[in-house]
Every structure is written in C-alpha cells, then in structure tokens.
Amino acid sequence: MRPDDTHPMPADRLFRNQPVIALEARLSGCRNVRTLGVRPNFSDYSDAEADLIRQADKIYYPSTHYIDMFDAMGKKTFPSSHTYRFVQDKIKQTTLFQLLRVPTPRTRFFYGRRKAEKIRRHFDFPFVAKIPRGSALGRGVYLIRSPAELEAYCEMSRVAYIQEYLPADRDIRVVVIGDQVAHAYWRVGGPDEFRNNIEQGGAIQLDGVPAEAKALALDTARCCGWNDVGLDICFYAGRFYVLEANMKYGKQGFQKAGIDYSKLMEEMIRDGRI
C-alpha cells in the first residue's frame, strides 16, 4: 500500500487542488466537474487540457476511444475499463452472464449462411432476435413470429442473437452507480408493443419495485465488474431474469422520480463514492 493510500486527501482539499476531469458529456451538468470533450486526436487538446488529463488522479467517462490508453497507463477511470468493454455488446454480456450463472432467458448465437435453419432447430416461434452489437434504446430488437420474419432478420444481421420470448408486459430497470442501486423503476410496454423501452412508447411506473430485483441487479453488476450500468430485469413464471445491460442508460426514470441526476453525481463524486 502506498503512503497516500493510508491517509487519503479530504474531499474538500482534493477539489481545491485538483479539478475533476471528464471527457464525455455525461457529467456536463455537474458543477464540480470540468468536461473537456472527446477529441479523437489527442494533439487537438490544448497544452493545458493535455496536462490536466495527464495529471488527473481519475478520469470520468473517458470514452471507448481513450479507455484502453488510460488503462495501460494505470490511470483510474469511472466507469471502469471493465464496464466499457461490454458497452453495446450483447454477445459478450450474455456469455458473461452464462459463465457467472446469472439467470437469463435461454439465448444462443448463430453464424453462417444456414443460420435460419439452425435457429428453427433450437427455438419455436415466437422468439426474440436482436442486433447483437451497437444497438440501443430498443432499436434492433424484433419479435420473430414466422419463417419470413426470420429470413428477413438473418439477411439483416450477420450474427444471429436469438433469445426465448418471455411474454411479460413490463420489466424493471435498475441503475447501479458505484456499488449501490441509484434508482429502480418499472417500464410498462405500450399498446401492441412487446418492447418496454421508454423510447419505444413504454411508460415509467415508480411504485413497488421488488427488493429481490434490486438485489439481483446489484449482485450481477458486482459479479460482472460493472460500476455504472442499467440492468433490465423481467419477472416471469415466478422468477426474475436479467435481460441485458445498458451502459448508456437514459435519465428519464430519474426525471420521473424527481431525482436531479447531475446533483446526485456531484454528491457521489464529492463523497468519493465514484
């Protein structure tokens, strides 16, 4: 242990002597954070900005572009480099869930020109198909009901991500920040819509989120090594299932509950919780 680890600098001194630096705009509303932006060429930062980045004890929201470089330097970041490795990659997320025995719907990946045929050997209609990388906000998620819909999806996606369909009209979004549940709420699907995403017409309900769902989300985040994530959890046939992880989660649930997200993050940074 280094000497400075035994006597950490008080938070008030820390913020007087060393500005809190972020690159992505996530914390742009926080008064105790200086957001520099993400510039693909590091040489485009001014000399003063480059020095701030080099000297910062921790970089907040460093972006997928810079996370590996900061990790190689041994510089601390929030979110962690491990969290960034799973951003918008459902195949990696699901494989990690399976390795850790996180309860999830039955899911398989299929490759090759005859993947539609292989899928039908493992799944009965209807089932859920997703674009496995790069999709978010409920886009790239399809309920497949027929061979024609399956063929159309397979033409669209080189890798087929197929998940059993759990016919629930709502799910739970649990947001874990640091090592705590920051917020949790129900997302209720709109009329004739199997997706519960707010961006796809879902509604937010704040009451009665089961403690078991929050505990499952917190345990999943800890086991996966993720410290800033929105986990989607479904309750079906008497059991909770983790559907997927969202590292770029929306703030609508915070707004609905009257939680000032920027103020919350200011306080968590000030108190050393993140």
Could you give the residue ranges of the DSSP H alpha helices within 21-131?
A: 47-55, 63-73, 81-84, 90-100, 115-122
Per-residue pLDDT, 9: 45
Q: Over the stretch 192-233, which tens digit does the pLDDT of each residue have?
A: 766 666 665 578 999 899 999 999 999 999 999 999 999 999
Contact between 241 and 104 (Cβ < 8 Å): yes
Q: Over the stretch 152-172, which tens digit does the pLDDT of each residue have?
A: 999 999 999 999 999 988 999
Q: Grade residue 1 by pLDDT with cuts at 50, 70 and 90.
A: very low
State the average pLDDT for the chain.
Answer: 91
| Rounded Cα gap, residues 205 and 189, in angstroms | 11
Q: Over the stretch 109-125, which tens digit does the pLDDT of each residue have?
A: 999 989 999 999 999 99
Q: Over the stretch 21-55, which tens digit does the pLDDT of each residue have?
A: 999 999 999 999 999 999 999 999 999 999 999 99
